[in-house]
Amino acid sequence: MNLKEALLWYVHMIEDEVEPDNFSYPTLLKVCARIRALKEGKQIHGQILKFGHEDDVFVQNSLINMYGKCGEVRQSCIVFEQMDQRTIASWSALIAANANLGLWSECLKVFGEMNSEGCWRAE
């Protein structure tokens, strides 16, 4: 699926009064991440906030991934810090966001924090 198709699909959902859910947004964000469509990703983030899906772990992980792939590691960190529940996927997405920019010391720092919290053992 390309970005145009994904956004058209989303617009049709809204027009048909079908509320997007925690499966819709990760799909859209994955497309944005793949082609580094930061502007569209930010717009989708706004829709996530509007429809109240900002606390869903799948949506949050997808936001971390999208911002990381688009080079916005700071925004990835903000989403990560706002999470109530972090999974191994959350930690991995944040490590990947830092690795994407070659921030190796940050990768090690995040990995150390993950280890300290025992996340990798819990899952």
At residue 123, does pLDDT exceed 70? no
pLDDT at 122 (0 to 100): 45
Taking the model in full, what pTM does it have? 0.89
Residue 83 neighbours by CB under 8 Å, 6+ apart: 57, 60, 90
Q: pLDDT tens digit string along 12-56?
A: 888 898 888 888 999 999 999 999 999 999 999 999 999 999 999
HEC states along the chain? Answer: CCHHHHHHHHHHHHHCCCCCCCCHHHHHHHHHHHHCCHHHHHHHHHHHHHHCCCCCHHHHHHHHHHHHHCCCHHHHHHHHHCCCCCCHHHHHHHHHHHHHCCCHHHHHHHHHHHHHCCHHHHC
